[in-house]
Amino acid sequence: MERGILKKLSVSFPREAGNLPVYSRAQGQIFPPEKICKVFQVNRSSYYTYLAGAVSQRAQANKNLLAMIKEVHQKSKQHYGSPRIQQVLKAHKMQVFRSRVACLMQQAGASGNEEKKI
């Protein structure tokens, strides 16, 4: 049955950190949720939380942090990269790692401009 699930669902399922595979309720009527969860290695409780539309605390924190990052980036006239933005956030008493700032900046399509050294 698991092979049939994968064959019939011709849509690619992105497995990003913290996200469940894209899955509609209509497909749940064809395949039992237990089998879908087994195939994609997801807990049933996570699946039902996903269907309820709950947003994780980390996702909410990332959304708020991204807003601050965009604000700092715009104030710097899009010159600051992740190290400088991290320093500005640290000055505002926010504990955040540079790698997290860099990841959020990359997702938002923001990058710092390198000045040419002569």
Averaged pLDDT in 10-residue chunks for the chain of 118 residues? 53 45 55 80 81 82 92 88 90 91 87 69
- Say how far apart CA 117 and CA 4 lie, in whole Å: 59
CA atoms within 13 A on the CB side of 109: 0
41: tokens are: 């290695």
- Predicted TM-score (pTM) of the model is 0.57
Looking at residue 18, its pLDDT comes to 45
Looking at residue 6, its pLDDT comes to 55
The CA radius of gyration of the chain, in Å to the nearest whole number, is 20
